Chains A and B, each alone.
Chain A
Amino acid sequence: MADTIAGAGAPATFGAKGYPAALEWVARRAEALVIPLAALVVGMALFSLFIALVGKSPVQLYETMWRGGFGSWFSVQNSLSRAAPLLLAALCVALPARLGLVVIGGEGAIVLGGVAAAAAGTALNGAPSFIVILVMGVAGMAAGGIWIGAVGALRHYRAVNETISSLLMAYIAIALMNQLVEGPLRDPASLNKPSTQPLADIYRIGNMPGMEVHWGLAVGVLACVLSWVLIEKTRWGFAARIAGGNVRAAQVQGLAVGSLIVAFTGLAGAFAGLAGMLEVAAVQGSANASLAAGYGYTGILVAFLARHNPLAIIPVAFLLGGIDASGGLIQRRMDLPDATVLVLQGMLFIVILFSETFYGRFKAFNPDLWQRNG
Chain B
Amino acid sequence: MDATGIGLWGVPLAILGGAIRVSTPFIFVSIGEAITERSGRINLGLEGTLVFGAMTAYAVAVKSGSPWLGLISAAFAGLCFGLFHGWICKFPKVNDIAIGIALMLFGSGLAFFFGKPFIQPSAPDLPAIPFGAWSDIPQVRAALDVNVLFLIGAALAVFLWWAFRNTRAGLIVRVVGDSSDAARAMGLNPNTVRLVTTGVGGALAGIGGAYLSLYYPGSWTERISSGQGLMAVALVIFARWNPLGCFAAALLFGGAGALGPALQSVGVTQGYYLFYAAPYILTLIIMIATSSPSRTLAGAPGELSIIK
User: Which residues from chain A sit less than 8 Å from chain B, CB to CB?
Assistant: 102, 104, 154, 156-161, 163-165, 167-169, 171-172, 175-176, 178-179, 182, 297, 300-301, 304, 336-343, 345-347, 349-350, 353-354, 356-357, 359
- Contacting residues, chain B, for A158 (C-beta < 8 A): 288, 291-293
**Known: A104-B101, A164-B230. Contact between A343 and B291, CB under 8 A?**
no
- Contacting residues, chain A, for B113 (C-beta < 8 A): 336-337, 339-340, 342-343
Report yes or no: A163 in contact with B44, Cβ–Cβ below 8 A: yes
Report yes or no: A354 in contact with B284, Cβ–Cβ below 8 A: no
Distance, CA A157 to CA B108, complexed state (A): 33
Within 8 A of A (CB), among B102-157: 102-103, 105-110, 112-113, 116
CB distance from A32 to the nearest CB of B (A): 14
Give B297's nearest chain A residue, CB to CB.
A159
Partner-contacting stretch, out of B22-30, B244-252, B274-282: B274-282
Report yes or no: A172 in contact with B280, Cβ–Cβ below 8 A: yes
Give B117's nearest chain A residue, CB to CB.
A337
Is B258 among interface residues, defined by CB-CB distance under 8 A? no
Is B97 among interface residues, defined by CB-CB distance under 8 A? yes
From DSSP, what is the main secondary structure of chain B's interface residues?
Answer: helix
- Contacting residues, chain A, for B307 (C-beta < 8 A): 161
Partner of A164, one of B102, B107, B287, B292: B287
- Contacting residues, chain A, for B273 (C-beta < 8 A): 175-176, 178-179, 182
Partner of A179, one of B94, B103, B271, B291: B271
- Contacting residues, chain B, for A172 (C-beta < 8 A): 277, 280-281, 284
Partner of A102, one of B91, B101, B281, B288: B101
- Chain B interface size, as a band, is 35 or more
Distance, CA A140 to CA B227, complexed state (A): 25
Report yes or no: A163 in contact with B97, Cβ–Cβ below 8 A: yes
Report yes or no: A353 in contact with B98, Cβ–Cβ below 8 A: yes
Known: A158-B293, A175-B276, A339-B113; 13 extra A-B contacts, CB below 8 A, are A161-B291, A163-B97, A168-B231, A175-B277, A176-B277, A300-B101, A342-B108, A346-B109, A350-B102, A353-B94, A353-B102, A354-B94, A356-B95
Report yes or no: B109 in contact with A343, Cβ–Cβ below 8 A: yes
